[in-house]
């Protein structure tokens, strides 16, 4: 390249380099690569390159070697890790290929690459062109290195995101299109850097600092907002968005960034916090810095930096805007991942960046990077902006009453646990929410959290600083006389009336007069009041310990015009207590928009049209106009599609159809935003899986051999064919999974999913069709992979050749072959990990190895395989405990056991996928995905994980929330459920938010479904008189007051019944004697190793008292074996024990019989006969393992027994008997029989109490209280008749329909000799009678007669019959029923399969609910 040489032409090898550098998604035609990694360049016009070429790479306006914005380097033999280098790859007559490497700390940006030949005498280098260099999270030397590949995919390459919003009580979410690889976003991002204040002040220095992610992140946090510079977005929180777009209307960053560029880099109007955060995510991911959005609920804006947020309310309860401080319902910022060499390695990792312009930092509106570790540890003196971020998640709250006339303020209350709740981000690889609160702070209210708070105050000099605005210690310590809260009564939807209940409770023993001023305001999400919607004032008197409910209704017509696009309302009640301090009750409410449904009408394939339908129904009683639908989606649409929708009348449904032509494969997201004059920016999104088109061209050649030329032509074609095979890779063109044969062999033919589902330890057959015959020298092998990080060492990956057992036990054999296809038999080991596998064919041809993805299959546990841990030898038991979809749950109490039907439905549509997803949502998976998946071959591990995932108590996206008291409001009463399928489907449809609500039998029913679905033999077990021993002392303490009323004090309890699961598998960790049935319990009672999970506990270990064995054996042992103490609590606080019963706990332990609906008593499996020497021996053994070996006979002390006495033997006995069967709707009559056991005359005072209770025996309402006395002669017995009228108990009865009656009998003149008599009564429901024909035949309509009744002495309205058959439900509205009236209906259905079907009926009305009946129907073949 001498003087006058032509400009060299450059081949940047765009495709190869982009693939190697993870930059294939960029739309740019310019080379884009990542630092610290080599890229290939080929150019012409050089000779002897190894001797005479010098390369120059430079960036910025004033390239300088000193500033590391220019590098000069020649060709070397090896790559340098510290500097730029070039290695010769190949040469030809007039071209050279060079591999160029940049150091991992190189400046990022657009580079000019030049080459100079030193041998040609040239004085000027020749330009090869430009390329863009980005950060490299895949390079271990880069500050942004992220070792987890799945996280790199999510936080750098993923273009779709989910942003969480709402408030702490009601979290919602919406999709966002980051689009960092679309159009010219990369150029816009680089322009952003060149428009910053830092660049304008000193361009050369600014560019030289662009190798540092913390510098770049800080600059961009300033540039995304427009408060100081030519930034991207102008913030607006006024509620008036004239001259721009409402922040809620945006659905992606691309439109914003493009508008900024098109306008000549004028700020786009308008943004709010989530918009700033989303745009910053786009820019940082584009430049290669791993970044995610974070939502902090109840986020503090501490303007004065005192780690305290002050809010003010006037006498009417109105929220005043008089302080610079504020608490936002939510605030969204960013976390970016990089090392902090300026602080030390312990502060590396996630760093907070916030582009929302709240407070200045260094003279401009920028925030961060603040180390998340520094925030958690209270190191607020570290760079950058740690005090501000610390306050956002940790500040204390002060709520003041302020008088504008006098300027006087009075502290209402303070709280240290309100700020920084449910800190959330999107999960890696999934559209779920992950809670990261524990990464920002220690548990609220804990000693560690308070110590960190004090540490932060000390570092900021606040501990010794006088603050005249701070409350006094006396103000902080004051205690209110009343408490209050707002409860939601109904749905929270725009278009519906808002119904609330103000609940006030008197905490004192004297009456309180309260004056209440209530207001409701529409607010922004920053909680700034906008419009007053409603106000009211009331005065009331609360009796001692009384609770009152005050209903509030705000009609839609009153609030809809006042609502902002945030759909938020703040309701407050300022309560002035005469003679006491004020109480502020407040609640922030987020209303949900109406739903939009997106339907993809066909398969989405590349370059092929597919129709999409968007459906919206107008939910309000008025016309909506100005309807606009906006749609966008990367790789689905080019740009944004905007469609005008005609006006919609009240309740009218709109259906809008449009076409997509996807242009890339893989999972894509379609985002939809619907607006009209009544509803603004209703958002939803749909995940669409785009696949390749399978178009093929087939050519037919017909040859008619009529001469020697024809024969010659045939031989030429044959030779050509052989040559074609040599140059064409052996490729499978089609796979047949042999679904019918495999499903029959593996007992999986009832699963509704379409993919192959097989069981481990047993072979399955596939057929492969190839593009050509296999040639000599070609060999085949298979690869199976499962989980995010398949590994042979973790047994989540196996590579195995034909006719060879692999190291992990997988094997494959080639079966019979025909022209064009080959059969293969694949076997998995009996201990293989269960779940969804990828199956890959590996073809070896000479030195060449290539792989072909064949598809996916699901592998389950195998009770039919003797080598499997879950092997069950009895076929009838396998049919019952794995394949039976119908179950029976036993409920009631030890004296009255009822059977209730339950539909497991483990084979129904989507259930298997839901169960596998459940495993991937667990905390175990989130903590270490690779290890978690590797342990899924162990049924005890899977069972334990599932037991934690069925309940939603650990913030783990669990299936069900439990609730045992109070109203269920708009959610489901646990008694309503009849099966698992509808629960699991709802969980899935609601994006894995816990379903509300469940109780023990619901948790157990759902868990049985999941475990049977995965192949683990499982059954339900009901334990009557089940102990909940919180303090683990093998003693249950129950307390009564001196009148015999049951007291809800003490943590121990005895439930009338409790339902758990037993699963069958071996216990290699304990030894063979502990194999067999294992107890698993998903009901969230007590934590085990930090989570609400229980088991597996060996039933054998429980029976033998081996309570020290894993897992939770002690807790289960006490459920069936604890001793029971009854105590009287006197007014002075002293307690005296009435009696101890060692035999009452753990009675009639029951499960469904194999092959029938009968009850089987399995109590003997859990313990030796009550009172026997063996039972007492085991009890002492268990107690010794807990407390030590020095245990005396009859030890049943409670922890505080030393300060109590045991009452004297009263010398009398007593018991309650029912005079007639207790029937709901009728008066209950009992007879208390008292017997004098001695020859002495006795006068007995009897205090009787009756309360409605839950099945957990928790008292709900006292319905009867009476006192009498009786004289008993020598050995005499007398009867006391007790009547509880329906009018007493009717309105206080729960769906459990239980009443507990107690009689505390005191023998006079015997100094405290007392007898406690108690009885739990279950009121019998009216029978539902289901009559079926003698013969029911498949595919033939059958008519059932269902009769139901009103047992009450009053009429009932709003009668509904819910009929459930498998997963199908029919809701039938019935006519009003007169008192004691019985009626019937006829129900027709057509069974579609043979075998047993369970039909369930649920009857509810306005006076009672969930009266149940079921019948099992034997469906015969036609």
Active-site residues, by number, are: 273, 331, 354
In order of 135, 199, 921, 928, the CA distances from 66 in angstroms are 21, 18, 50, 44
Region label for 60, one of left (φ > 0), alpha (ψ between -120 and 50) or beta (otherwise) = left
Structure tokens, 971: 């959610």
Q: Any residues with CB less than 8 A from the CB of 443 and at least 6 apart, and which?
A: 449
Decide if 1317 contacts 1282 (C-beta within 8 A).
no
Distance in angstroms (rounded) separating the CA atoms of residues 1402 and 1043: 39
Tokens 């407040």 label which residue?
586
Name the phi and psi angles at 206, rounded to 5: -60, -50
Question: Alpha-carbon distance 1084 to 1113, whole Å?
Answer: 16
Q: Going by C-beta distance under 8 Å and a sequence separation of 6 or more, which residues neighbour residue 231?
A: 222, 223, 224, 225, 267
Structure tokens of 1144?
């009452």
Of 508, 519, 474, 520, which is closest to residue 577 (Cα–Cα)? 508
| Placement of tokens 């009932």 in the chain | 1356
- Taking each helix axis as running N to C, give the angle between helix 185-194 and helix 213-223, from 0 to 180 degrees, rounded to the nearest 10: 90
Q: Answer for the pair 407, 275: CB distance below 8 angstroms, yes or no.
A: no
As a three-state string, the secondary structure of 246-267 is: CHHHCCEHHHHHHHHHHCCCCC
Yes or no: say if 865 and 809 are a contact pair by the CB < 8 Å rule.
no
C-alpha atoms less than 13 angstroms from C-alpha of 399 in its C-beta half-sphere? 22
CA torsion sign for 1335, 1337, 1341, 1344 is positive
Distances (CA, A) of 1100 to 880, 1026, 1105, 1106, 1168: 22, 18, 9, 9, 11
d(CA 495, CA 560): 8
Helix axes 981-989, 1000-1014, angle to 10 degrees: 90
Tokens of 976: 């309503």
Q: Which residues partner with 601 through β-bridges?
A: 611
- SS in 3 state form for 1294-1360? CCCCEEEEEEEEEECCCCCCEEEEEEEEECECCCCEEECCCCEECCCCEEEEEEEECCCCCCECCEE
Q: Which helix (H) or strand (E) holds 1115?
A: helix 1113-1121
Q: What are 73's two structure tokens?
A: 């380097």
- CA pair distance 1291, 606, nearest whole angstrom: 62
- What is the edge-to-edge ordering of all strands in the sheet holding 1342-1349? 1329-1331, 1342-1349, 1382-1389
Helices and strands, counts by H and E, the chain? 29, 76
Terminal alpha carbon distance of the chain:
90
Q: What residues does 851 pair with on adjacent strands? A: 842
* Tokens matching residue 1264: 């009867």
Q: Report the C-alpha gap between 673 and 601 in whole angstroms.
A: 19
Structure tokens at 699: 């050519």
């Amino acid at each position: 390249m001498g003087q006058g040489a032509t400009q060299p032409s450059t081949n940047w090898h765009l495709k190869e380099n982009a693939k190697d550098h993870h930059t294939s998604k960029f739309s740019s035609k310019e080379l884009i690569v990542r630092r610290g990694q080599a890229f290939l360049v080929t150019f012409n016009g050089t000779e002897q390159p190894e001797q005479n070429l010098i390369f120059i790479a430079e960036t910025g306006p004033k390239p300088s070697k000193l500033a590391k914005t220019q590098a000069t380097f020649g060709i070397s033999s090896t790559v340098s890790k510290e500097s730029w280098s070039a290695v010769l790859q190949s040469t030809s007559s007039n071209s050279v290929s060079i591999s160029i490497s940049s150091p991992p700390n190189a400046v990022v940006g657009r580079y000019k690459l030049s080459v100079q030949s030193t041998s040609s005498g040239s004085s000027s280098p020749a330009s090869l062109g430009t390329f863009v260099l980005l950060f490299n999270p895949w390079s271990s030397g880069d500050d942004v290195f992220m070792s987890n590949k799945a996280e790199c995919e999510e936080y750098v390459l993923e273009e779709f995101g989910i942003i969480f919003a709402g408030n702490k009580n009601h979290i919602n979410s919406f999709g966002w299109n980051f689009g960092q690889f679309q159009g010219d976003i990369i150029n816009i991002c680089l322009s952003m850097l060149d428009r910053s204040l830092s660049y304008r002040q000193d361009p050369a220095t600014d560019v030289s600092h662009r190798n540092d992610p913390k510098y770049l992140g800080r600059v961009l946090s300033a540039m995304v907002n427009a408060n100081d510079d030519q930034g991207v977005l102008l913030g607006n929180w006024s509620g008036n968005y004239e001259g721009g777009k409402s922040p809620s209307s945006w659905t992606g960053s691309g439109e914003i960034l493009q508008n900024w560029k098109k306008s000549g880099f004028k700020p786009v109007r308008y943004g709010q916090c989530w918009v700033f955060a989303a745009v910053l995510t786009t820019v940082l991911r584009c430049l290669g810095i791993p970044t995610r959005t974070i939502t902090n609920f109840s986020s503090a804006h501490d303007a004065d930096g005192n780690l305290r947020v002050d809010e003010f309310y006037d006498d009417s309860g109105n929220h005043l805007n008089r302080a610079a401080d504020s608490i936002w319902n939510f605030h969204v910022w960013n976390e970016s991942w990089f090392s902090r060499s300026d602080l030390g390695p312990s502060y590396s990792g996630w760093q907070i960046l916030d582009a929302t312009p709240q407070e200045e930092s260094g003279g401009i509106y920028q925030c961060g990077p603040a180390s998340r570790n520094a925030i958690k540890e209270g190191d607020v003196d570290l760079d950058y902006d740690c005090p501000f971020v610390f306050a956002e998640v940790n500040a204390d709250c002060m709520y003041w009453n302020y008088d504008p006339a006098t300027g006087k303020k009075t502290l209402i209350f303070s709280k240290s646990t309100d700020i920084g709740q449910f800190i959330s981000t999107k999960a890696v690889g999934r559209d779920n929410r992950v809670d990261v609160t524990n990464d920002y702070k220690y548990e609220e209210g804990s000693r560690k959290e308070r110590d960190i708070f004090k540490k932060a105050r000390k570092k900021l000099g606040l501990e010794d600083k006088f603050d005249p605005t701070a409350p006094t210690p006396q103000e902080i310590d004051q205690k209110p006389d009343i408490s209050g809260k707002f409860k939601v009564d109904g749905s929270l939807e725009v278009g519906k009336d808002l119904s609330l209940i103000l609940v006030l409770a008197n905490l004192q023993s004297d009456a309180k007069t309260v004056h209440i001023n209530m207001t409701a305001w529409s607010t922004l999400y920053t909680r700034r009041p906008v419009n007053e919607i409603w106000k009211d004032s009331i005065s009331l008197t609360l009796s001692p310990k009384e609770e009152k409910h005050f209903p509030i209704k705000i009609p839609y017509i009153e609030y809809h015009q006042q609502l902002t696009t945030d759909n938020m309302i703040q309701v407050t009640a300022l309560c002035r207590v005469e003679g006491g301090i004020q109480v502020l009750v407040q609640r922030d409410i987020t209303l949900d928009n109406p739903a939009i449904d997106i339907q993809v009408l066909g398969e989405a394939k590349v370059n092929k049209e597919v129709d999409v339908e968007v459906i919206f129904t107008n939910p309000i009683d008025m016309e909506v106009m100005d309807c606009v639908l906006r749609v966008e989606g990367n790789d689905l649409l080019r740009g944004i599609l905007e469609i005008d929708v005609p006006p919609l009348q009240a309740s009218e449904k709109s259906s809008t159809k449009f076409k997509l032509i996807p242009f890339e494969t893989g999972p894509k997201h379609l985002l939809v935003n619907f607006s009209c004059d009544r509803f603004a920016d209703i958002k939803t999104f749909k995940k669409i899986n785009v696949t390749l088109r399978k178009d093929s061209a087939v050519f037919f050649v017909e040859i008619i051999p009529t001469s020697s030329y024809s024969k010659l032509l045939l031989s030429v074609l044959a030779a050509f064919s052989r040559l074609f095979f040599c140059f064409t890779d052996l490729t499978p063109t089609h796979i047949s999974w042999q679904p019918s044969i495999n499903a029959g062999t593996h007992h999986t033919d009832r699963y509704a999913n379409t993919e192959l589902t097989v069981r481990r330890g047993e072979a399955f057959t596939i057929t492969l069709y190839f593009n050509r015959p296999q040639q000599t020298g070609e060999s085949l092998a298979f690869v199976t992979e499962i989980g995010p990080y398949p590994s042979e060492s973790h047994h989540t990956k196996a590579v195995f050749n034909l006719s060879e057992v692999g190291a992990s036990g997988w094997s494959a054999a080639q079966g019979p072959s025909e022209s064009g296809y080959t059969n293969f038999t694949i076997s998995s080991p009996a201990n293989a990990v269960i779940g969804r596998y990828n199956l890959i064919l590996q073809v070896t041809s000479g030195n060449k190895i290539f792989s072909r993805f064949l598809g996916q299959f699901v592998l389950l546990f195998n009770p039919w395989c003797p080598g499997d841990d879950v092997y069950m030898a009895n076929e009838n038991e396998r049919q019952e405990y794995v394949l039976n979809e119908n179950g029976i749950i036993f409920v009631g109490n030890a004296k009255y056991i009822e059977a209730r039907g339950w539909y497991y439905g483990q084979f129904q549509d989507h259930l298997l996928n839901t169960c596998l997803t459940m495993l991937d949502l667990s905390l175990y998976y989130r903590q270490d995905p690779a290890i978690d998946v590797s342990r899924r071959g162990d049924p005890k591990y899977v069972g334990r994980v599932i037991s934690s995932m069925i309940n939603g108590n650990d913030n783990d996206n669990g299936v069900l929330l439990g609730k045992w008291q109070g109203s269920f409001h708009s959610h489901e009463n646990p008694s309503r459920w009849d099966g698992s399928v509808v629960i699991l489907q709802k969980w899935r449809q609601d994006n894995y938010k816990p379903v509300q609500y469940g109780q023990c039998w619901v948790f157990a029913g759902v868990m049985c479904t999941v475990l049977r679905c995965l192949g683990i033999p499982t059954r339900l077990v009901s334990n009557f008189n089940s102990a909940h021993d919180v303090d683990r002392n093998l003693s249950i303490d129950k307390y009564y007051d001196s009148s015999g009323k049951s007291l809800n004090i003490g943590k121990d309890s005895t439930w009338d019944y409790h339902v758990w699961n037993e699963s069958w598998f071996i216990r290699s960790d304990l030894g063979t004697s502990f194999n067999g049935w294992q107890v698993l319990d998903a009901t969230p009672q007590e934590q085990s190793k930090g989570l609400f999970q229980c088991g597996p506990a060996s039933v054998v270990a429980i029976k033998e008292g081996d309570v020290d064995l894993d897992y939770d054996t002690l807790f289960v042992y006490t459920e069936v074996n604890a001793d029971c103490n009854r105590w009287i609590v006197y007014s002075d606080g002293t307690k005296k024990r009435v009696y101890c019963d060692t035999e009452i706990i753990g009675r009639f332990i029951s499960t469904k019989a194999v092959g029938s609906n009968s009850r089987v008593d399995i109590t003997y499996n859990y313990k030796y006969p009550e009172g026997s020497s063996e039972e007492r021996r085991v009890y002492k053994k268990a107690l010794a393992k807990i407390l030590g070996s020095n245990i005396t006979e009859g030890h049943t002390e409670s922890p505080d027994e030393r300060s109590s006495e045991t009452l004297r033997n009263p010398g009398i006995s007593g018991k309650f008997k029912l005079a007639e069967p207790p029937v709901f709707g009728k008066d209950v009559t009992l007879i208390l029989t008292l017997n004098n056991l001695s020859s002495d005359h006795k006068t007995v005072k009897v205090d009787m109490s009756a309360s409605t209770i839950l099945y957990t025996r928790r008292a709900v309402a006292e319905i009867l209280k009476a006192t009498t006395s009786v004289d008993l002669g020598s050995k005499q017995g007398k009867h006391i008749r007790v009547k509880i009228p329906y009018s007493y108990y009717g309105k206080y009865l729960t769906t459990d329909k239980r009443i507990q009656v107690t009689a505390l009998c005191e023998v006079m003149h015997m100094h405290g000799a007392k007898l406690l008599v108690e009885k739990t009564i279950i009121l019998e429901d009216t029978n539902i009678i289901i009559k079926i024909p003698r013969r029911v035949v498949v595919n033939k309509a059958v008519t059932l007669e269902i009769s139901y009744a009103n047992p009450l002495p009053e009429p009932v309205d709003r009668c509904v019959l819910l009929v459930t058959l498998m997963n199908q439900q029919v809701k039938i509205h019935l006519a009003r029923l007169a008192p004691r009236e019985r009626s019937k209906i006829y129900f027709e259905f057509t069974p579609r399969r043979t075998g047993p079907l369970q039909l369930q009926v649920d009857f509810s009305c306005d006076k009672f609910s969930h009266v149940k009946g079921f019948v099992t129907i034997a469906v015969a073949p036609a």
